[in-house]
Amino acid sequence: MTVPHTADVLVIGGGATGAGVVRDLARRGLRALLVERGDYGTGTTGRYHGLLHSGGRYVQKDQVAARECIEENRVLRRIAPSSIEDTGGFFVATPDDPDDYVQEFAANCAASGVDCDEVDVQTLLAHEPALNRRIRRAFRVPDGSIEPWQLIDSTLADARRHGSEAVSYHRVIGFEITGGRITAARLRNERDGSETTVWTQFVVSAAGAWAGQIAALAGVEVEMTPGKGTMLIYNHRMTDAVINRCHKSSDGDIMVPVHTVAILGTTDIKVPDPDDYEITREEVARLVDEGTKLFPDLPRMRILRAYAGVRPLYKPPAEAAVGGNRSITRAHAILDHADQGVDNFVSIVGGKLTTHRLMAEQTVDVVAEKMGITARCTTAEEPLPDQHEGKTYWLGHRLADIEAEGGGDADLLCECELVTRSMAEAYLDRHWPCTIDDLRRGTRVGMGPCQGAFCTFRVAGLVAERLDAAAQDGSGEQRAIHAATADRALGAFLRERFKGTRPIAHGRQLQELLMTNGIYSGVLGLDSMAAPSEPPAGSPTPEVVDAAR
Partner 1 sequence: MPRADVVVIGAGLAGLTAAARLAEAGASVMLVAKGHASTHWGSGGIDVAAPVGARTPAEGVRTLAAPGHPYAILAGDAEAAVGWLTGVLATAGLPYAGSLQTPIRRVPTALGGTRRVAIVPDAQSAALRPWDPDEVLVVAGPAGFKDFWPAAVAGSLARDAVWHGSDRPARVVGVAVALAGLAERRNVNALELARRFDDPTTRAADLDAFAAALRSAAGRRPGRVALPAIVGLHAHAEAWADARARLPLEPFEVPLVPPSVPGVRLWQALRARIRATGGRVQVGEQVHRIETAGDRVVAVEMEAATRALRITTGALVLATGGIAGGGLVATADGRIVEPLLDLPVETPPHDGWLRRDALDPAGHPIEAAGIRTDATLRPIGPGGATFRNVHVAGALLAGQLALRERCGDGVAIASGWRAANAIVDTGVGGTLAATSAGHSAGPAGIAS
Partner 2 sequence: MTITDLVAEAAAELDPHVSSSADECLKCNVCNTVCPVMRVTDLFPGPKYEGPQAQRFRLARGQQIQGPHSADVPSPDHSVDYCSGCGWCTTACPAGVKIAEINNQARARLREGKRPKLRDWGLGQTDLTGRLGTTLSPLANAVLGNGLARRAMELTVGVHHAAPLPAFAKRTFQATWRKDGGITGADGETLPGPDEAVVYFHGCAANYYEPHLAQAAIEVLRRNGFATIVPPQVCCGLPLISNGLYDDARERAGSNLPVLADLARRGYRIIGTSTSCTHTLKAEYEEMLDLHDDDTRVVSEATWDICEFLLDLHEQGRLDTSFGRLDADLPYHAPCQLRSHGIGLPALELFALVPGLRAEDMDHDCCGVAGTYGLKKEKYDIAMAVGAPLFDKVKASGAAAASCDSETCRWQIQTATGVPTRHPVEFLLDAYRAGDAARTPTAAR
Among 484, 489, 545, 547, binds partner 1 (CB under 8 A): 484
Dist. CA 364–CA 269, nearest whole Å: 31
Q: What does the alpha-carbon distance between residue 460 and residue 97 come to, in Å, rounded to a whole number?
A: 49
408 makes contact with partner 2 (CB under 8 A): yes
Among 194, 511, 521, 533, binds partner 2 (CB under 8 A): 511
Rg (CA), the chain: 23
Task: Find which of partner 1, partner 2, none residue 156 binds, CB within 5 to 8 Å per kind.
Answer: none
Question: Interacting stretch for partner 1, rule CB under 8 A, among 117-125, 195-203, 312-320, 402-410?
Answer: 402-410
The H or E element that residue 182 is part of is strand 181-189
**Pick from partner 1, partner 2, none: which does 460 bind, CB < 5 to 8 A by kind?**
partner 1
Residue 393 sits in the site that holds partner 2 (CB under 8 A): yes
408 touching partner 1, by CB under 8 A: yes
Decide if 17 contacts 359 (C-beta within 8 A): yes
What's the Cα-to-Cα distance from 397 to each of 144, 222, 391, 523, 528, rounded to whole Å?
17, 44, 11, 35, 40
Q: Which does 336 bind (CB under 5 to 8 A by kind): partner 2, partner 1, none?
A: none
Site pattern 129..148 for partner 2 (x: CB under 8 A): x-------------------
> What 8-state DSSP symbol labels residue 528?
G
The two most distant CA atoms of the chain are separated, in Å, by: 73
Out of 24, 128, 158, 253, name the contact with partner 2 by CB under 8 A: 128
Q: Does 437 bind partner 1 (CB under 8 A)?
A: no
Please provide the distance, in angstroms rounded to a whole number, between the alpha carbons at the two ends of the chain: 28
Cβ neighbours, 10 Å, residue 321: 11
Q: Cβ 501 to partner 2, closest distance in Å?
A: 14
DSSP three-state, residue 407: coil
Q: Which stretch binds partner 2 (CB under 8 A): 221-229, 320-328, 449-457, 538-546?
A: 449-457
Residue 425 makes contact with partner 1 by CB under 8 A: no
Tell me the window of 80-88, 200-208, 320-328, 520-528 that interacts with partner 1 (CB under 8 A): 520-528
Please report, for residues 201, 202, 494, the alpha-carbon distance to residue 180 in angstroms, rounded to integers and kept in the order given.
Answer: 12, 12, 47
The total of other beta-carbon atoms located within 10 Å of residue 162's CB is 18
Distance CA 82, CA 64 (A): 27
Nearer to partner 2, 376 or 388 (CB): 388
Sites of contact with partner 1 (CB under 8 A): 281, 285, 288, 299, 406-413, 421, 454, 457-458, 460-462, 464-465, 467-468, 476, 479-480, 482-484, 486-487, 490-491, 494-495, 497-499, 502, 505-507, 510-511, 514-515, 517-530, 532-533
